[in-house]
Chains A and B, each alone.
Chain A
Amino acid sequence: MRRLLALTWKEFMQLKRDRLTLRMIILIPLMQTMIFGYAINYDVKHLRTVVLDESRSYDSRELVARLTASEYFDVVGRVDSLKELEAALDSAQASVGLVIDREYGANRHRGTPAAAFLVVNASDTTTASQAMSIAGGVATQLSMQTLARRAGWRERALPIDLRVRPWYNADLRTSTFIIPGLLAIILTFTLIQFTAGAIVREREMGTLEQLQVTPVTRTQLILGKLLPFILIGYVQLTVTLLLMRFLFDIPIVGSVALLYGVAFLFIAAVLGLGMLISTLVQNQRQSQQVSMMFLLPFVFLSGYVFPIDGMPPMFQFVSRLIPARYFIEVVRGIVLRGAGVDQLWVPISWLAFYTVAIISLAVFRFRKTAN
């Protein structure tokens, strides 16, 4: 116990000297929360739109007004020919072009189909699909109103009243979806590299060998390395949670204690991964490269930004191997839905399983390379 204390004390003294790393511990969660909380927004409003209105009628103006009222389209210009419209999209002055047919107004009065078409810059698929669904919705609404009027329907509501209620994220804010998952990413980002780097540095300096001739056991050596980093993990977790709660106004519906408890499993898994990396590499540069390699699947296949359901089966399988996937599932469950152990025991069990597996493998490899 005394030895373990000495090892931990040493680690903190080194950390105290390493001002840069010390700052990074706070700066990384701060920066990433800002970037991912503010900059990432799937809900793309105010698309720059150019309009070619060949109809120039009351009805064509109504269509444009309806589209702009949705806030998804901002009319930034009117053009007189298809050529000009094309030029506006080509030069990226606009990402949406609306063409309203010459007969649009006349056809609406006549009751024959009135045509308009929407050109969307689909190189950004998120933007494009959003523009398409909003425009489609506007068109359907207009059509329904026309039909209802003609059929002599007097009710204010349409025959089928399907109302969609977005639960757990009532305002459909991207940050509500992103930031709870960000907890996993921040912990992965810093802790894998810190742990791998710290062990590799000791090996490079020869101090690891020096420790191995002392009566310090392997277990003490490993724990002495991991304990300080667990604490760092919790500091980062707390910083991120505070930002989430007070800056982004995302309340934690469920149990904070449960969140901190499950976080222990994840932090241990990530530290184990760092330790594992340290046994695979020769120097600090390599350890950074390998850490980065692990980071990518954690970010992209964990369901953090891209929904797992949308992945091809092979990648859905790969995502099952990523501990971050389960942690993110648990965090979203606790923070957004107020779920408890009875609802989350499956991902918690998987997380626990991977944590034990990774730590065992790391300890096994560590013992082997030490000899």
Chain B
Amino acid sequence: MNTPPPMENLVTARGLTRRFGAFVAVRNIDVDIPRGRVFGFLGPNGSGKSTTIRMLAGLLAPSAGRITGFGGIDIATETDAWKRRLGYMSQKFSLYLDLTVEENLRFFGSVYGLRGGSLAGRIDALADRLRFHHVRRMLTEGLSTGLRQRVALAAALLHQPELLFLDEPTGGVDPAGRRMFWDLIYELAADRGMTVLVTTHYMDEAEQCDRLAFILDGAIIADGSPTTLKSHLAGRLFEVEVAHDAFTTLATLRPLSMFEDVYLAGRRLRAVLAAGAEREAIARLGLQGLAREAEPSLEDVFVSLARKRAPGAEEAA
């Protein structure tokens, strides 16, 4: 994504830690969420990304650390002011299934203090934009997952939040629906200058973010734009076509110290070369076939970083 220059931070967290009993879910995290960007937390289930986003949304009190934002509001002391500024949509699309779409939106709107004409106007506008006019009088229970997702998004946007939290927002939604959803998020973010904070474990969704933080075992192991993150592997990712017996080749190459990582991607063998041993490694790969430098995906980067942290751990994402 192209990143416009001024990078003012909307939200800043320092030394964020959350313990559940003896278990440390999030360990001493520092995060800066730049204003007007789409910021992604990428990590496997249980890595602590949901815990982090829940602390930033004020759902969970941190065990240690401080969160400030929106020009000097401290979440711990001015929770109400904080909550007014954010919208939140979780993977559950939490709506009242026994209320109609209209009733749900009217309820959430009035909880934020909206009423009368202005509330009706905003519901109309969102129903237009998110294309759910035809189901407004239907019970939410009868809606498809995709429609529920759009209505839940509308509920989170009614009060025009400065910061929108999306916790795994596309769970259970088909690829076309996901695509549409993301287009919409970008449109909204661009229109309103809204900042979006999203957690995901889909790599294609992560690619859409302006900035990304990789989370593993409760810590941020890397952050930056997708391009910056990919540059970690620049010049070190090669692939080679393996005609047959790919598994044997994999088993042979994997233990070699000249490779940081070797894995199969379809019919091709991908190898991350250990820094300093590139020439030797390219030569070794050449024995298997024609070795070409490959464009790293975020998944490659994540796996490589994860492996460096915890040697022997299998693909975490």
A binds B: yes
Complex CA–CA separation, A212 to B112 (angstroms): 12
Complex: chain A residue closest to B58, CB-CB? A213
Selected interface stretch from B93-101, B176-184, B198-206, B306-314: B93-101
**Chain B contacts for A13, CB-based, 8 A:** 99, 103, 107
Q: Which residue of B has the minimal Cβ distance to A224? A: B111
Partner of A9, one of B97, B107, B108, B165: B107
Q: A10-B99, A206-B90, A207-B96 are in contact. Are A214 and B57 (CB under 8 A)?
A: no
Chain B residues near A (Cβ < 8 Å): 57-61, 80, 83-84, 86, 88, 90, 92-99, 103, 107-108, 110-113, 115, 139, 155, 165
Chain B residues with CB under 8 Å of A205's CB are: 92, 94, 96-97
Contacts of A7 in B (CB 8 A): 111
Asked if A14 contacts B83 (CB within 8 A), the reply is: no
Contact check, B84 vs A215: say whether CB atoms are below 8 A apart.
yes
- Are A6 and B99 interface neighbours, CB within 8 A? no
- Apart from A3-B113, A214-B111, 5 more pairs, CB < 8 Å: A6-B107, A13-B103, A13-B107, A210-B88, A371-B60
- What residues of chain B lie closer than 8 Å to A14, measured between beta carbons? 96, 98-99
Query: Is the CB of A2 closer than 8 A to any CB of chain B?
Result: yes
Residues of B within 8 A of A209 (CB): 59, 90, 92, 94
**Per-residue B-contact encoding for A58-96, CB less than 8 Å = 1, 0 else:** 000000000000000000000000000000000000000
Answer whether residue A44 sits at the interface, using C-beta atoms and an 8 A cutoff.
Answer: no
* Binary per-residue interface labels of chain A (200-240) against chain B in the complex, 1 for a CB within 8 Å, 0 otherwise: 00000111011111111100000000000000000000000
Q: Which residues of A contact B (CB under 8 A)?
A: 2-3, 5-7, 9-10, 13-14, 17-18, 205-207, 209-217, 371
**B88→A213 contact, CB < 8 A:** yes
Question: 3 nearest interchain CB pairs?
Answer: A206-B92, A206-B94, A210-B94
- Contact A213-B96, Cβ < 8 Å, known A2-B110, A9-B107, A206-B90: no
Q: Could you tell me if B94 and A207 are in contact, using CB atoms closer than 8 angstroms?
A: yes
Knowing A2-B115, A10-B107, A206-B94 are in contact, say whether A213-B86 is a contact too (CB < 8 A). yes
Q: Which residues in A have their C-beta under 8 angstroms from that of B83?
A: 213-215
Residues in B neighbouring A207, C-beta threshold 8 A: 94-96
A215 to B61, Cβ gap below 8 A?
Answer: no
Provide the residues of chain A in CB contact with B115, threshold 8 Å: 2
Q: Smallest distance from the beta carbon of B165 to chain A beta carbons, Å?
A: 8
- The answer on a CB contact under 8 Å between B59 and A213 is yes
User: What are the residues of chain A within 8 A of B155 when measuring CB–CB?
Assistant: 210
A250 to chain B, nearest CB (A): 39
- Would you give 24 A-B contacts (Cβ < 8 Å), ordered by A? A9-B110, A10-B96, A10-B103, A10-B107, A13-B99, A13-B103, A14-B96, A14-B99, A17-B139, A18-B98, A206-B90, A206-B94, A207-B94, A209-B90, A210-B88, A210-B90, A210-B94, A210-B108, A212-B58, A213-B58, A214-B83, A214-B111, A215-B112, A371-B61
